[in-house]
Structure 1
């Protein structure tokens, strides 16, 4: 049976084909401030635009990891910035914890310019901030990449598959031993025809792992004319950003674990910033295990219309001094707030702590 979602930007029609968890459990919906794509599937379990308990996020990681077939290692997980920087690392982490695989490496694409050689660079068609860069892995991990037999490409949602296919084909051309490719996501909107085309394009074994499958169509509201954000600037000269948290790869059995500040109140929100998600998530998860009532969420480059699943939104300039608007959707209220930065000095560039009264957790490194 079709489901109709009425948004400010138009009407989504959704037909589900498979669902391990309900549509309502996994997704909310909102309107993009983007003429290329007026709708947005807003994950309730990602810890991005909607605050989420770390235990629920870990449950999603475990479910997806458990669905992965027996594969040949070394296994490479690649997460797409910015939403799958945390998801990809989380699933890779759960995969290591749930299995006997020891040779598992994770890396994510980034929007940032680093002092490292670019490996793959491409654009995401419908994104407000299109440039993706995958940097040359750290020297200590290079042999694992070259020997890798299984490539797992991770995104929170797959609608056309074009971006992941483009990335996968680029990587296969550089990693000669890849024998199988897995496209892993929370939600998959690909038709059977689209899946077949992707399988044929890789010319090797391809599988799809997800928790919900279906198809959708969108009827735009011609009267919806959002005020568009200023055009995103291209990447600035080299930024001072960490290279040991996923942008150049990390061995999941040796992943950096960073302890954050201990909360003073029972109800606490941990806020990751931009691509810095996995380490703050691990700290939030540990606090929840100690008995704190913890919610996790993170800032984003994505402008979203307030309404539907977005109750409120804050806008501020990025912490890297690129002059780019960032957002915190559904900001915390009535909770102690801890804002995590990958480098302590970045907090001085950010007025988010002033806007929400949060304390700063800046990592030294």
Structure 2
């Protein structure tokens, strides 16, 4: 029996409608997104990606392969005329989403084989696109990578900042180390998980162009949902900057919204939360235990792109991943058949690559990947809704904007073990009292792995 589309619950209640578009790789918008309702007065809905691994536990090879595929589209925009994997890769994505064995690994392997070295500067947006942008940079081989961050560092002077108006937490910083990292030669690539209006991207391009002008920019996203007015605004920006701006995406399309969608969304959240308990579903399992696993992270390799990630770091990490996956495998409980590797807000790339290596090592184990988030979303236990359950816990990294709630979605899915991957800033007593205790309360064994910052 075919599973229902995970956007049907929302479209039937808020009168939203996905509109069709185009795809260079033969995919459709409903394949790549489900829908949920935000607990955020600025925006009613959340597009929940099926290939990002943020809110939905996903095969890490599908997540990484999709990022590499987007990187291939970027490479084609920078150096047109090369034959690429195209719809063959898209067919692998579709097969992996249907759960066909070997499809996710096949996608990743196909894109790895088609990797084309191109020098560029790639910038990803926090928190959702930090690993996506990193995968795009990986697909280009010789690219320098940096992602924006909401975590200021006293010793590092910000290169720039921008505002993401619809986001739940809006302050972003670029903190390159060394400071001249973004002065590297070559075109600049901006990566986000979705383009809704493109306003954030346009603001970023203006700010970065004012500091270091370039002749060519590429904007990349999994989904491009801009309307014609937004596309015109991007063309106007090209004239303003005197630079070429290409936009690439796995799928283009749109979301039709009724005029009262913000009020209707908040009313729906209030009504559902009155009707539904906030606690996870009872599963009858006794609480699990919690242990720590030393990763053996390679010295000198950054934990991600918060301050910059260079091609030589990529090479070192690739060599070290099999040994780190073996350490995780040795620590898993006997007989574990479903394992989740759970990243931590902006720290998405390191846990993704660890999950990918673990999935390759454990051929008979269902290894999934997702991360915690700041974004508050309504959970509804319905197969036609993308966010089935949520864990709520306090922030555990002493955030600059003060304490607050954090969330892990769809974790209550019968995992035998959850590997929680955090950086040193997130490894506090609050981690054990909050997130770890909530997960172990599901009857799941918890392994904690810390990546040095």
Q: TM-score, normalised by structure 2?
A: 0.70
Correspondence 1:69-108 to 2 at 5 A: 69=76, 71=78, 74-96=119-141, 102=142, 104-108=143-147
In the alignment, which residue of structure 1 is the partner of 2:63?
Answer: 57
- Residue 205 of structure 1 and its aligned partner are, at CA, apart by 0.8
Partner Cα separation in structure 2 for residue 345 and residue 224 of structure 1: 31
Query: Residue 237 of structure 1 corresponds to which residue in structure 2?
Result: none
Alpha-carbon distance in structure 2 between the residues aligned to 1:345 and 1:80: 20
Q: Deviations over 1:146-166 (max 9, x none)?
A: 243211110000001011111
Structure 2 residue 243 is the aligned partner of structure 1 residue 204: yes
> Taking structure 1 as reference, are residues 266 and 196 closer, same or farther at Cα in structure 2, changes over 3 Å only?
same
User: Which residue does 1:310 correspond to in 2?
Assistant: 387
Shift in CA distance, 22/70, structure 1 to aligned 2, threshold 3 Å: closer
Contact 1:16-1:212 at 8 Å conserved across structures: no
Q: CA deviation at 1:266?
A: 3.4
4+ residue runs over 4 A deviation: none
The count of corresponding residues between Structure 1 and Structure 2 is 339
Contact 2:39 2:266 in 1 (8 A): no
2:47 match: 41
CA contact (8 A) 1:26 1:43 kept: yes
Residues 339, 359 of structure 1: 8 Å contact kept: yes
2: distance between equivalents of 1:51 and 1:278?
Answer: 15
Aligned partners of 1:32 and 1:304 also within 8 Å? yes
8 Å contact kept, 2:14–2:265: no
Q: 1:9, 1:38 within 8 Å by CA — same for their partners in 2?
A: no
Question: Which residue among 355, 360, 364 is the counterpart of 2:448?
Answer: 360
Matched, 1:151 2:188: yes
Query: Structure 2: how far apart are the matches of 1:333 and 1:180?
Result: 45
Q: 1:193 to 1:277 in 2, by over 3 A?
A: same
> 2:160 is matched with which residue?
120
Instruction: Provide Cα deviations, 1:137-181, integer angstroms capped at 9, x if missing partner.
Output: 212x72x532432111100000010111111111111123x2211
| Aligned residue among 148, 161, 170 for 1:109 | 148
2:38 maps to which residue?
32
> Whose helix fraction is larger, Structure 1's or Structure 2's?
2
Q: 1:6 Cα shift?
A: 4.8
The residue number in structure 2 matching 1:130 is 170
Counterpart of 1:193 (choices 209, 226, 229) is: 229
Quick check: which one's strand share is greater?
Answer: 1
1:289 aligns with 2:360: yes
Contact 1:16 1:213 in 2 (8 A): yes
> Which structure has the larger Rg?
2
Q: 1:148/1:12 Cα in 2 relative to 1: closer, same or farther (>3 Å)?
A: farther
Q: 2:374 aligns with which of 279, 295, 301?
A: 301
Query: Which of 200-209 and 123-132 deviates more?
Result: 200-209
Structure-2 separation of matches of 1:79 and 1:301: 17
1:11 counterpart residue number: 15
Distance in structure 2 (CA, Å) of the matches to 1:299 and 1:23? 24
Equivalent in the alignment of 1:161: 198
Using the TM superposition, give the Cα deviation of residue 344 of structure 1 relative to its aligned residue in structure 2, in angstroms: 7.5
In structure 1, how many angstroms separate the alpha carbons of the residues matched to 2:64 and 2:452?
Answer: 26
Bigger mean CA offset, 280-289 vs 144-153: 144-153
Residue 194 of structure 1 and its aligned partner are, at CA, apart by: 1.8
Do the aligned partners of 1:340 and 1:362 also contact (CA within 8 Å) in 2? yes
The answer as to whether partners of 2:121 and 2:184 remain within 8 angstroms in 1 is no
8 Å Cα contact 2:389-2:412 kept in structure 1: no
SS at match of 1:326: strand
- Cα gap change, 1:57 to 1:24, in 2 (>3 Å): same
Secondary structure of the residue aligned to 1:89 is helix
1:183 is matched with which residue?
219
Shift of 1:244: 5.2
Q: How does 1:268-283 map to 2 (within 5 A)?
A: 268-283=339-354
Return the alpha-carbon distance in structure 2 between the equivalents of residues 111 and 285 of structure 1. Answer: 26
Q: How many angstroms does 1:349 deviate by?
A: 1.9
Q: Which moved more, 1:331-340 or 1:157-166?
A: 331-340
Contact 1:347 / 1:362 at 8 angstroms: preserved in 2? no
